[in-house]
Amino acid sequence: MEKIGILIDSTSLTRAELKEYPFIKIVSLYVTLDGTSRKEEDITTEEMIEQLHKAKHITTSQPAPGEFLEKYEEFHNEGYTNVLVVTISDKLSGTYQSAMIAKTMIDFEMDISIHAPQLASFGVANGVALLAEMVAEGASFEEVQKRYYTIFKNGAVMFTLGNLMNLFRGGRLNRIQALLGTVLRIKPIVEMVEGKLQLTKKERTNLACFEYFMNKADEYCQKFKKVYFDIIHLNRPEWAEKIRLYISGKYPAAGIHMTDYVSPVFFAHLGDQGFGLAVAAE
């Protein structure tokens, strides 16, 4: 009889309910603050926001293969027969590669299926939450994997930021672009494109960003039968609420989740001001 587990990395732990499933385990990425490396799971939101304005050097790094191997062994010792691994995009991190290497190191029987959707953070969590519901309801591993391909095939992540300097620190903009954009109060729209974070559009107002996101929401709801939105805001609750009201009013059958958190790794690259949404569809 199958016993199915799900393994995710800590950047996707944006929903508290994912911690409540006994079959979900987490491998942590790392954040280095002025030379001191720590698991991002051990860094509170309050501390990370403070460090964004205080630390001189912030870098991030992937987990080692041995950390994935430990989780595989835990699953095996607990009687799991199948494990679905879903990591951050392999274009953003070597986390997927660490998971793959660890798979070659196991010396026991277990079906491990490893995936890196071309999404990140709350975009991954949006799909994983649907898969976790299936596992909890007794779906087979084949059914869970089949739905993985369906819901992540057309996924999307898009958001705007309040501070362009974090894109510079994360290598997405050069210093001149970031400084000029900050002075001119440019509102960047960042999207996941082929697994990478790309600055795809520049707007002058939050309203223009909102309208861009809602045009995207319209496209998804008109194209797919089932659409699931995860609306995120970092200290911009008023815009998240505008998005929620628009989608729920126009598309009452759509799934909607609200998120006000990203992991320390993404705080390091994106800052603590902004709003946007992730989409899964089938």
Q: What is the CATH number of domain 156-281?
A: 3.30.1180.10
Per-residue CA distances from 4 to 8, 114, 136, 203 (Å): 13, 13, 9, 45
Show me where the domains of the chain are located: 4-28+63-139, 156-281
Q: Tell me if 225 sits within 8 A of 231, measured CB to CB.
A: no
Q: Which amino acid is at 26?
A: I
Cut 0.75: pTM above it: yes
Query: Shortest CA distance to 74 belongs to which of 52, 118, 106, 37?
Result: 106
* pLDDT tens digit at each of 282 positions of the chain: 899 999 999 999 999 899 999 999 999 999 888 888 989 988 888 888 787 777 777 788 999 999 999 999 999 999 999 999 999 999 989 999 999 999 999 999 999 999 999 999 999 999 999 999 999 999 999 999 999 999 999 999 999 987 655 555 555 454 445 444 454 467 888 898 998 888 788 888 999 999 999 999 999 999 999 999 999 998 899 999 999 999 999 999 999 999 998 888 887 777 778 899 999 999
User: Could you tell me the strand order of the sheet in which 111-115 lies?
Assistant: 24-27, 4-9, 82-86, 111-115
Q: Tell me if 206 sits within 8 A of 179, measured CB to CB.
A: no
Instruction: Decide which of 3.40.50.2000, 3.40.50.10170, 3.30.70.120, 3.40.50.150 is the CATH code for 4-28+63-139.
Output: 3.40.50.10170
CATH fold match for the domains 4-28+63-139 and 156-281? no
The secondary structure element, H or E, covering residue 86 is strand 82-86
Cα gap 230→224, rounded to integer Å: 16
